[in-house]
Amino acid sequence: MKKTILATLLLASLFTACKKEETTGNIPQADTLVSTTVTKDANASVKDKLAQLVNKTLDWTALPDNFTLLPVVEKDSVYIGFDLVEHAENLKVLKHTGYFSKEFIDNYDNIIKELDRKTKSNEFGIWQANDLPPFSFANDVNPWCNCQDDPGELNAPLKVGVISLDGDSGKFFYYYGNKEADANNYSYKFNAVKENGVWKISYMEGFDYKTSVRTDGEL
């Protein structure tokens, strides 16, 4: 009799766990991979600081004329490459914000230089002026959020979840909503590191190098 009751309880527990997993949606599971060396209080503090950082970053990207994400060069109604002088100024602007680590800035630099090389060597074909880019980066989406509309218009607070955290670096995601399960399935992954005691963004999924430099539609 005791064995029967124990088996029943075990099956009920497994069923409950499975149902919980099914209802989590596409939002990454926060805090499930957090290093055990990080206390809950410290973890909460990091998330608050990073939420402030992401909010400031997104507010900055929404400002007009902060810099041109794709500083293209046009000739005879065709984009023939990128203005690397303007691009160099863009890198200075990114650094001046204080929001981005050297790793992030170097990665963006590499993206633009590789797109410039491929455009000039005609690897993307002819890129007509005012057409969408023939590559994946910033192609009909805002790479800062991988969206077309401002996700902040959901009228919900931006929050940060932790994928992994190890001291002064970690992998995170941001989302909007009062609960992780109430984020309309929207989330955006990013990494952050501490530089001189200050948290900075080191990676954003909309700036993933391998994805950004490939031809649009290429898998």
Q: Which residue range(s) make up the domain with 108?
A: 28-207
- List the beta strands (DSSP E) in the chain: 72-75, 78-82, 127-128, 158-166, 169-176, 188-195, 198-204
CA dist., res. 213 & res. 116, Å (int)? 10
pLDDT for residue 176: 85
Amino acid present at 171: K
Q: Decide which of 121 and 63 is more confident.
A: 121
Q: Decide which of 33 and 63 is more confident.
A: 63
Under the banding of pLDDT at 50, 70 and 90, the label for residue 218 is confident
Question: Looking at the 3D structure of the chain, how many domains does it have?
Answer: 1
Taking Cα atoms as reference points, which of 107, 123, 106, 90 lies closest to residue 206?
A: 107
CA dist., res. 95 & res. 89, Å (int)? 10
**pLDDT value at 111 more than 50:** yes
Q: Residue 78 half-sphere exposure, CB side, CA atoms within 13 Å?
A: 9
Residue partners of 100: CB distance under 8 A and separation at least 6: 94, 200, 201, 202
pLDDT for residue 83: 98
In a domain, 16, yes or no: no
- pTM attached to this predicted model: 0.79
In a domain, 4, yes or no: no
pLDDT for residue 63: 85
Q: Pairing state of beta strands 158-166 and 78-82? A: unpaired
Give 71-110 pLDDT, tens digit per residue: 999 999 999 999 999 999 999 999 999 999 999 999 999 9
pLDDT for residue 69: 94
Give 9-60 pLDDT, tens digit per residue: 333 443 344 443 333 345 554 444 334 444 566 688 999 999 999 999 999 9
In a domain, 61, yes or no: yes
Please give the span between the terminal C-alpha atoms of the chain, in angstroms, as a whole number.
Answer: 57
CA dist., res. 125 & res. 72, Å (int)? 15
CB 140 within 8 A of CB 132: yes
In a domain, 164, yes or no: yes
The alpha carbon of 16 is separated from its chain's Cα centroid by a whole number of angstroms, namely 32
**pLDDT value at 8 more than 50:** no
Other Cβ atoms closer than 10 A to 29: 13
Give 127-165 pLDDT, tens digit per residue: 999 999 999 999 999 999 998 876 555 567 899 999 999
In a domain, 134, yes or no: yes
Taking Cα atoms as reference points, which of 61, 86, 66, 64 lies closest to residue 74?
A: 86
In a domain, 214, yes or no: no
**pLDDT value at 181 more than 90:** no
In a domain, 148, yes or no: yes
In a domain, 217, yes or no: no
